[in-house]
Amino acid sequence: MEILVCVKRVPDPAENEIELNSAGNDIEQDDLVYSVNEWDNYAVEEAIQIVDKVGGSVTVVSVGDEDAEEVVRREMAMGADKGLLLSDDAFENSDGKGIASILKAAVAKGSYDLIFTGALADDGAAQIGGMLAAMLDWPYASLVNVIKADDSKTIKVGREIEGGNQEMNEIDLPCVLSIQTGINEPRYVGIRGIRKVASVEIPQLGAAELGIDPDTVGAKGAKVKRVDYFIPELGEGAEILEGSTDEIVEELVERLKAKGGIK
């Protein structure tokens, strides 16, 4: 089984509180700590587990600038066999369709049975996997939380649907799957693992190598453009309790008693 996993470098939600800049139109970029999109770690772990079972190899790919190389390398430290970076000034500010078409060009350069993406990332769009599958004209399943793969031409996948239920499907290979968190327990990557792959060369492909017309991607090719970030006037929201910890605790206990929260 040849598996390609698409990963994205994003601001780490565990390390950052996302805030607006002083102009109030973009997020504050200073001191942002980046990491691999959380969903993508589950996708890479799943790919490694499948290859361990049925053979084959795992390739990790990312669309991004030089900085994205660090996340590809981190996923290689998890155990992915190969890395690939798709990088070009023309790719900047691509919309979802642009990113998917860049990935499609990379898929055409290899030979894959399975492609994984994370179910969603920082922008919450949950769109790349479905777009890529449609461009390749491969079948697709989103929000996958179980995969039963052997060496046959079809696999079984479970999708997480509403209410904690699971929708089981049979799907023909090759296919694209978007992977939901919780499907497995991604392995820990230690300093030693990172060192092991520190000098592995990660090939880098641009628009020319991928045969992509620069006008069809990036800001030029985008039908969907983010104009700004903002935080609206949201009304009052919660009454924030203020004071010393003792005062807050005392007040909160009173409120909870009044509402029947303390039995």
Partner 1 sequence: MSELYIYVTHKDGAPDDSASELIAAARKINPDASVTAIVAGSGDGADTVCQTVAASGATVFKIANEALAYPNAEIVRNMLVNILPSDAIILIPHDTFGMDLGPGLSIKLDAAFVSDVIDFEGLEGTDLKIIRQEFSGQVYTHVLCDISAGAVLNIRPGAFKADENQIAEGQIIDKSGDAGDLTARRRFLEVVEAEAGEVDITAEDVLISVGRGIEDEDNMEIIFDLAKEMGGEVSCSRPIVDAKWLEKARQVGTSGQTVKPKVYLALGISGSFQHLGGLKGAPFVVAVNKNANAPIFQAADVGVVADILDFIPELTEKISELN
Place of tokens 């039908």: 223
- For partner 1, the binding residues in 191-220 under the rule CB under 8 A are none
**Beta-strand (E) ranges in 7-125?**
9-11, 34-36, 57-63, 82-86, 114-118
- For partner 1, the binding residues in 28-87 under the rule CB under 8 A are none
Q: Is 166 in the site for partner 1 (CB under 8 A)?
A: yes
Q: Is 15 in the site for partner 1 (CB under 8 A)?
A: no
Out of 47, 158, 179, 217, which residue is the one contacting partner 1 (CB under 8 A)?
158
Place of tokens 């970030």: 229
CB of 98 to partner 1, least distance (A): 12
Q: Is 152 in the site for partner 1 (CB under 8 A)?
A: no
> In the complex with partner 1, which residue's Cβ is closer, 31 or 246?
246
Cis peptide upstream of residue 139 (ω within 30 degrees of 0): no
Residue 205 phi, psi (nearest 5): -120, 135
- For partner 1, the binding residues in 87-146 under the rule CB under 8 A are 96-97, 100, 119, 122-131, 133-135, 138-143
> In the complex with partner 1, which residue's Cβ is closer, 89 or 123?
123
CB of 38 to partner 1, least distance (A): 9
Out of 108, 169, 190, 198, which residue is the one contacting partner 1 (CB under 8 A)?
169
Out of 57, 167, 194, 206, which residue is the one contacting partner 1 (CB under 8 A)?
167
B/e letters for 41-80, b = 16+ CB within 10 Å, e = fewer, are bbbbbbbbbbbeeeebebbbbbbbeeebbbbbbbbbbbbb
Give me the torsion for CA of 248, 250, 254, 256, rounded to 10°. Answer: 60
Among candidate residues 63, 60, 61, the one with its CA nearest the CA of residue 87: 63
- For partner 1, the binding residues in 170-189 under the rule CB under 8 A are 170-172, 175, 181-182, 185
DSSP 8-state assignment for residue 27? B
Q: Is 227 in the site for partner 1 (CB under 8 A)?
A: yes
- Using alpha carbons only, give the angle 104, 1, 119 rounded to the nearest 5 degrees: 50
Q: Is 13 in the site for partner 1 (CB under 8 A)?
A: yes
